[in-house]
Structure 1
Amino acid sequence: MSKHCLMVGAGLSGAVIGRMLAEAGHRITVVDARAHVGGNCHTERDAKSGVMVHVYGPHIFHTDDAEVWDYVNRFAAFRPYRNRVKTTSQGAVYSLPVNLHTINQFFGQTLRPDEARVFLEGKADTSIADPQTFEEQALRFVGPELYEAFFKGYTIKQWGCQPSELPASILKRLPVRFNYDDNYFFHKFQGMPEEGYTAMIAKILDHANIEVKLDTPVSRDVAQDYDHVFYSGPIDGWFGYSLGRLGYRTLDFERFDYQGDYQGCAVMNYGDVEVPYTRITEHKHFAPWESHEGSVLYKEVSRACGPDDIPYYPIRQVAEKSMLADYVALAGQETNVTFVGRLGTYRYLDMDVTIREALDAGRAFLKAAQEGSAMPAFTVAPL
């Protein structure tokens, strides 16, 4: 039996779930408070330069999930793209992640991989047996010089606190490569949609059973008008922030234009704490197959997220996790509402993981509908 489902949010979660359910014969309404689809992945052509601009900061698609890669290629032509990040630190430019070139350049050496391992181990603080904080993790694996140059200042600016206050898990793996590979990501599939993410998501939403309503904020009381709601907005917002607001970092973008090539790369980080911005992104370099004389750049500044700001990075420290647990308990009492995506589950998610979870949520709904069983509040546990 066909159901009428509401997708709150026209980003990846709402689009992918909506498309799957629409193809199965269900009627889908997608609403978004913004004037465009795509959420924070939104891209648009700059009228003056012709550059494809990542309006809410750069998004680079990378995954090892073959099904997800096939899925996005169904709706967009993807061009090969490798993210090669540079950083300006202490008056010099280096490659990130820290690799053999970075080590040799920084220390004025010509070390081979095995020599570099021994050299860096001599710099590391081996007295830290079980790193508990970001700072301890960095000092244990790269030592004080590389930590100060590449990690400390950037982290203070990004998170608004000292690295000694952050968990070691933020540095999930050894942040050093003992070769000259400067490809930022390890994943098998990497690329950019030729016409941008907004065009791709618009194609996902282009189905006879899908109606899209933009500039349309919704509140919790709309749930009763639909057979099921998939909510990809902030979980605390669904409950009117009744238990308080979950903490996020937001970004301020200072745009500037340039005639020519400003920095010669897409992303230039700034590791020195005295520089107020974390990085400058030059957007024409995210589409190296295109040629533009003009250039569009953003300086990014991270700060605490206020009530009227766009939430980017969930903080997920002890206090936030405690509040989240209370909201998760409230969500469990809802009927016919499933919380999905980065904001709905208060987790930082890459695009490929967002799509994977959306595909899984869509399949879970179709299975529940067929069996006549209830859909859970979460298909992935937020905690």
Structure 2
Amino acid sequence: MRRICIVGAGFSGSVIARELAEEGLNVLVIDERDHIAGNCHTYRDEESGVMVHKYGPHIFHTANERVWEYINRFTEMMPYVNRVKATVKGKVYSLPINLHTINQFFGTSMSPVEAKAFIEDKARTDIKDPQSFEEQGLRFVGEELYNAFFDGYTRKQWGVEPSILPASILKRLPLRFNYDDNYFNHPYQGMPKNGYTAIMEKILDHPSIEVRLGSAYEYIDEEFTHVFYSGPLDRYFNYDIGRLRYRTLDFEEVRGVGDMLGTAVMNHPDPETPYTRISEHKHFAPWEAAKFEKTVAFREYSRFCEEGDTPYYPIRSLDDKVLLETYEKKAQKEEGVTFVGRLGTYQYLDMDVTIQKALDVAKAFLEKNRD
């Protein structure tokens, strides 16, 4: 069997490469960037010593025991709980919306039962079947909380009216009537002790895997038995029927001494603030944060992704879904190519889902091609 080519050295490509290599296949992993780990790439900041998430914060969380065991094969996962704060009209609140948020915002001291009844009274019960993000938010928490925490943030993050975004974006956010400010509900949560790039280095450390950086698939002049493509789906077809739309992020670096935010992530939902949030990266590694005298944080600005930008979030509007369906039909006709990952399937995937899907794809390929 000739070599397998894997386009992209993020979680999708790296996991598939490792699974195939362990079964004796010869694998070439290429990535046009000068580093592995895709958008999960981490590095030590030279000035402060802080481990920086180059493309924005990545917090590992999952309910999938198999994925948790898999990631722990290649790293030591340290305890980490994501506790997000939000500055609204000059006051700081806890997210996701919980009993503390509700009591602080409305100046009350309600019990869980009282708060639940209070929010139910605020909610727009006339909206029976929410279809848009806006309808879901109003039905979810009522106008005051929706306008304070969701409306402005969403407009900045997505660049469109919340009334045309799907309700599903908001449905996954919790609303709690206790004082639990853990942003995620998953039983397994943590941060890799040595960063995400170190994980990918270990996954790709196999004698049957060659990694070639600074190499775009379009310029690889070799024949392969099969290609696993985790690049942009529309790019593979040279955008011949149009471009799928993404949001991208610009980062503004802020440096200081000591503790700048007192937390890892501070959201800024107010529409007057041009950025969506600011993240102080030393707090993503609480086991070592105290030893760093200097600190570094990044403000995030969201905008539409243009040619040459790094794609982050697929927009998946109605027009995008129609275009996606056409590309998917073209992809199904491609022989010897499997489209994987966030870009290859044009869907937002958390890291644990990405790993699970990569394991499943590799298993299916091996079973199909086993002698």
Is this a same-fold pair by TM over 0.5?
A: yes
Structure 1 position 253 matched with structure 2 position 251: yes
C-alpha separation in 2, matches of 1:205 and 1:99: 41
Q: In the TM superposition, what is the alpha-carbon distance from 1:296 to its structure 2 partner?
A: 0.9
Amino acid at match of 1:310: T
Name the residue aligned to 1:379: none
Amino acid at match of 1:277: Y
Name the residue aligned to 2:338: 338
C-alpha separation in 1, matches of 2:200 and 2:220: 27
Amino acid at match of 2:214: D
Structure 1 gap ranges (5+) = 372-383
Match of residue 275, structure 1, among 273, 276, 287: 273
Name the residue aligned to 2:168: 169
Name the residue aligned to 2:311: 311
Name the residue aligned to 1:83: 82
Amino acid at match of 2:300: E
Name the residue aligned to 2:37: 38
Name the residue aligned to 2:191: 192
Q: In the TM superposition, what is the alpha-carbon distance from 1:221 to its structure 2 partner?
A: 7.2
Name the residue aligned to 2:9: 10
Amino acid at match of 1:312: Y
Amino acid at match of 1:361: V
Amino acid at match of 2:44: R
Amino acid at match of 1:38: A
Q: Is the 8 A contact 1:53 1:283 kept in 2?
A: yes
Amino acid at match of 2:224: Y
The number of residues matched between the two structures is 369
Deviations 1:169-193 (A, max 9, x none): 1111464100000000000100000
C-alpha separation in 1, matches of 2:287 and 2:305: 36
Structure 1 position 360 matched with structure 2 position 360: yes
Deviations 1:74-102 (A, max 9, x none): 00011010000000001100000000000
Structure 2 gap ranges (5+) = none
Deviations 1:132-181 (A, max 9, x none): 11111111121111011100000000000111121111111464100000
C-alpha separation in 2, matches of 1:305 and 1:140: 31
Q: Is the 8 A contact 1:156 1:163 kept in 2?
A: yes
Deviations 1:248-294 (A, max 9, x none): 00000011211111110000000100100000000000000002111
Mapping for residues 1-383 of structure 1, pairs under 5 Å: 2-173=1-172, 175-219=174-218, 222=221, 225-290=223-288, 291-370=291-370
Residue 29 of structure 1 aligns to a residue in which SS? strand
Amino acid at match of 1:151: F
C-alpha separation in 1, matches of 2:175 and 2:122: 13
Residue 231 of structure 2 aligns to a residue in which SS? coil
Name the residue aligned to 1:377: none
Residue 328 of structure 1 aligns to a residue in which SS? helix
Identity %: 61
Amino acid at match of 1:251: L
Relative distance call for 1:183 and 1:336 in structure 2 (3 A) is same
Relative distance call for 1:132 and 1:220 in structure 2 (3 A) is farther
Q: Is the 8 A contact 1:7 1:14 kept in 2?
A: yes
C-alpha separation in 1, matches of 2:238 and 2:128: 44
Q: Is the 8 A contact 1:21 1:362 kept in 2?
A: yes
Q: In the TM superposition, what is the alpha-carbon distance from 1:220 to its structure 2 partner?
A: 8.1
Name the residue aligned to 1:376: none
Deviations 1:222-250 (A, max 9, x none): 5x600000000000010111111100000
C-alpha separation in 2, matches of 1:225 and 1:142: 56
Residue 335 of structure 2 aligns to a residue in which SS? coil
RMSD of the alignment, in Å?
1.1
Amino acid at match of 2:266: M
**4+ long deviations beyond 2 Å:** none
Name the residue aligned to 1:375: none
Relative distance call for 1:214 and 1:199 in structure 2 (3 A) is same
C-alpha separation in 2, matches of 1:231 and 1:269: 34
Amino acid at match of 1:322: V
Task: Report the TM-score when normalising by structure 1.
Answer: 0.95
Q: Is the 8 A contact 1:255 1:297 kept in 2?
A: yes
C-alpha separation in 2, matches of 1:264 and 1:245: 41
C-alpha separation in 2, matches of 1:238 and 1:360: 22
Q: Is the 8 A contact 1:220 1:239 kept in 2?
A: no
Q: In the TM superposition, what is the alpha-carbon distance from 1:9 to its structure 2 partner?
A: 0.4
Residue 303 of structure 2 aligns to a residue in which SS? strand
Task: Report the TM-score when normalising by structure 2.
Answer: 0.98
Relative distance call for 1:174 and 1:230 in structure 2 (3 A) is closer
C-alpha separation in 2, matches of 1:367 and 1:129: 46
